[in-house]
Structure 1
Amino acid sequence: MAQDTETPTIAFVRYSGSAPIAQASDGTLDSLEAYGYLTPAERAAINESYDLYGEKVVLLYRDAGFDLPSVNLMVEDVLDKGADVILTITTQVAQIAVNATRDMEDPPAILFSLTTPFDTGIADSLCIKPDHVAGTQPVMSFEQYVPLVVLQDPDIQVIGTIVTPDQDISILGTRLIKEIGESLGLTVEVATATSLADVSFAAESLLDQGAEAIVLPVNPLTAQAMPVLVQLTTEYGVALYAPRLNAVFRGATVAAGFQGFYHEGVIAARILHAHLIGDIDIADLSIHQSFGFGIAVNLDTAAEQGIEISDDLLAMATFVVENGQRSQDVTADVDEVSMTLHEMSSEERRAADLEFLAGLECTDEMIAEQQVALDAAK
């Protein structure tokens, strides 16, 4: 438990809710209980619709419900309430929180788990970032994701994707889908959607242009529109690919992406706890990177689309959905089979944390090398 007599205030701020966000939050909250910030009763009673004023910690919860202007108000609100740490698992919130605190004399720590901390104004590189910012990056491997289209259908020639211009995460993903798709010899058509109502028009335009599959980037807007996209791709008889494993439960034909969001929440809590008790200075920490790629296939959707999933793709699948049943004991809210903390004493946990965090320390040599790489890329 924190050695400070002052009760820390931790703000969980997010753009929207999703299964990966819930998993990461659970990893953080379970860890906070293990560290002694939360009692078992407090942990069991947590409802993310309400703030928690616990015996040893204050937890503030804010959710923008996909409304970007609300994020500015939420960040301002938790700053006014004296947040010592802002935790976020969404790029939009991290961007606004970093910008809002960049020039503060004594800013709160901002900890994140984001697929795109770079190219979004949050950090320049693993070690070159604002001193009050740290976190972990669940790496979304587009190099593994996009080729699944060809693995499923070696004769495919045209794919379509949807970009939202005001979402940096969408722009980056769309660029990678286009670059990798074209390197595979595919024609990649891109349509734009700026609102939920636009998504169906964007998808229809792609399908009318001959797209033989829709391949989505990470994008909260298209995630919201999944039912519409499933309906349209079923009508046209083409596959729908999504970059989040849980999307398979919402009807995506193939869902593929990072697997391990619960552990991302645990990593964020490790940094958080060490920061609060003074074991680390987050200015000296590099951004941690996690790698874990999973593939899920919805055979029910494929059947409705008139698509036969290739044996090669099925052989790679982490799990499948068939006849409404989910393999590997996976539920619609969980894309991981095991999401629990390792049992260990507080002394063992602290020793493990210190060993882990020591591996994240930035050296002058690392910073210099990364700066050279950044300068060369300009």
Structure 2
Amino acid sequence: MRRTIIALLVVAMAGSLLAGCSKKEKVIKIGVNQLVRHDALDASYKGFVDALKEAGYIEGENIEIDYQIAQNDQATANTIATKLVNDGCDLILAIATPAAQAVANATKDIPILVTAVTDPAGSGLVESNEKPGGNVSGTSDLTPVRKQIELITKFLPDAKKVAVLYCSAESNSKIQVEMAKEAAKEFNLEMIEATVSNTNEIEQVVQSLVGKVDAIYAPTDNTIATGMPTVAMVANSNKLPVFCGEEGMVNNGGLATYGIDYYRLGWLTGEQAVKILRKEADTATMPIAYLPDDEYTLTVNEEVAKQLGIEIPEELLEQ
């Protein structure tokens, strides 16, 4: 009898252990394909991770994050995308338009969230920004381009000609360039295009603008953002002010911007990820999200203003 009882206890304990194992929470695999390292994209990734953590998804506990940087190279972005798909990720975050396009081309099944993408529909990532219709959704970093162009006229009321500096390979930049041209007409500014294909061309192109334009406008272009120290080195030494698409570029030598908070943008994307992981939402019906207009902030680099001999307008000091 005693042996029978012991045997039954052993079976019961084994069953209990097996039951516990079967209830063990699955570790969720999240892949990240970030185009390049610079302040804005890094901040968006941090915001994404922090939003997941706030919701109880913690790396090393119940999620595993494979964070990859494509070094601003499309072929590398494509390779990373293929790797993340083959590794069986449960969700993929793509940061910046070229990285998003690489991931979207690699899978039509795994949920993809994009961030730091100006116009997902215009970049061919979704059917429409209101109704994505597939496995891709996310957040847009569309900035107030008109307000940024207007800002030039507030600092430089006599400005006549402005160069828009961007990488010709980035579709998100081309969208902003068209918006900038429309805004320039409203403020009686002549807008000329100054393009590069990689960071190695930045110094020569900026140097070629000296004496030909009154200012440079650099939208949220990843190549220019990465090479912003070079832009600033040439432009500021020649008293050529640079107005930027986002705060990180200003901090790296630009003069001013009205921009968005990329950490907040990444957080918003993280909140979308939580809904998808909890099966509360689907990418096909989840609209592309934007930060509210009242979260645009003015950033002025006072050291650069002093170097350029430009006085910050009184009305801007009050903001």
Normalised-by-shorter TM-score class? 0.7 to 0.9
Give the drift of 1:80.
1.1
Contact 2:133–2:283 (8 Å) recurs in 1: no
In the alignment, structure 1 residue 279 sits paired with structure 2 residue 297: no
C-alpha distance in 2, partners of 1:97/1:135?
A: 13
Give the drift of 1:228.
2.0
Residue aligning to 2:240: 238
C-alpha distance in 1, partners of 2:94/2:301?
A: 30
Residue aligning to 2:255: 253
Residue aligning to 1:157: 160
Change (3 A) 1:149 1:76: same
Give the drift of 1:4.
9.2
Change (3 A) 1:140 1:96: same
Structure 2: runs of 5 or more not aligned? 1-22
Q: TM-score, normalised by structure 2?
A: 0.85
Which string of whole-angstrom CA distances, capped at 9 and with x for unpartnered residues, describes residues 307-337 of structure 1?
Answer: 2222233333xxxxxxxxxxxxxxxxxxxxx
Aligned CA RMSD, in angstroms, stands at 2.0
Q: Provide runs of 4+ in structure 1 moved above 3 Å.
A: 3-6
Query: Residue 92 of structure 1 aligns to which amino acid in structure 2?
Result: P
Give the drift of 1:269.
2.2
Give the drift of 1:150.
0.5
Residue aligning to 2:50: 30
C-alpha distance in 1, partners of 2:155/2:163?
A: 16
Contact 2:134–2:284 (8 Å) recurs in 1: yes
Aligned-partner SS, 2:305: helix
Matches within 5 A, 1:260-339: 261-291=262-292, 292-316=295-319
Matches within 5 A, 1:354-369: none
Matches within 5 A, 1:142-181: 142-181=145-184
- Most deviating of 8-17 and 20-29: 20-29
Matches within 5 A, 1:88-103: 88-102=94-108
Give the drift of 1:87.
0.8
Aligned-partner SS, 1:147: helix
C-alpha distance in 1, partners of 2:26/2:128?
A: 33
Contact 1:255–1:297 (8 Å) recurs in 2: yes
Which string of whole-angstrom CA distances, capped at 9 and with x for unpartnered residues, describes residues 150-186 of structure 1?
Answer: 1112111111112322110121122222221122111
Aligned-partner SS, 2:137: strand
In the alignment, structure 1 residue 14 sits paired with structure 2 residue 34: yes
In the alignment, structure 1 residue 77 sits paired with structure 2 residue 83: yes
Give the drift of 1:222.
1.2
Question: Match for 1:224 among 223, 226, 238?
Answer: 226
Give the drift of 1:118.
2.8
Structure 1: runs of 5 or more not aligned? 43-53, 317-378
Give the drift of 1:267.
2.3
Query: Residue 149 of structure 1 aligns to which amino acid in structure 2?
Result: I
Give the drift of 1:133.
1.3
Aligned-partner SS, 1:290: coil
Change (3 A) 1:192 1:61: same
Aligned-partner SS, 2:318: helix
Residue aligning to 1:371: none
- Most deviating of 157-166 and 140-149: 157-166
Give the drift of 1:109.
0.3
Aligned-partner SS, 1:136: strand
C-alpha distance in 2, partners of 1:166/1:297?
A: 28
Change (3 A) 1:284 1:224: closer
Report percent identity of matched pairs: 23
Q: How many residues align?
A: 294
Query: Residue 231 of structure 1 aligns to which amino acid in structure 2?
Result: M
Give the drift of 1:27.
2.5
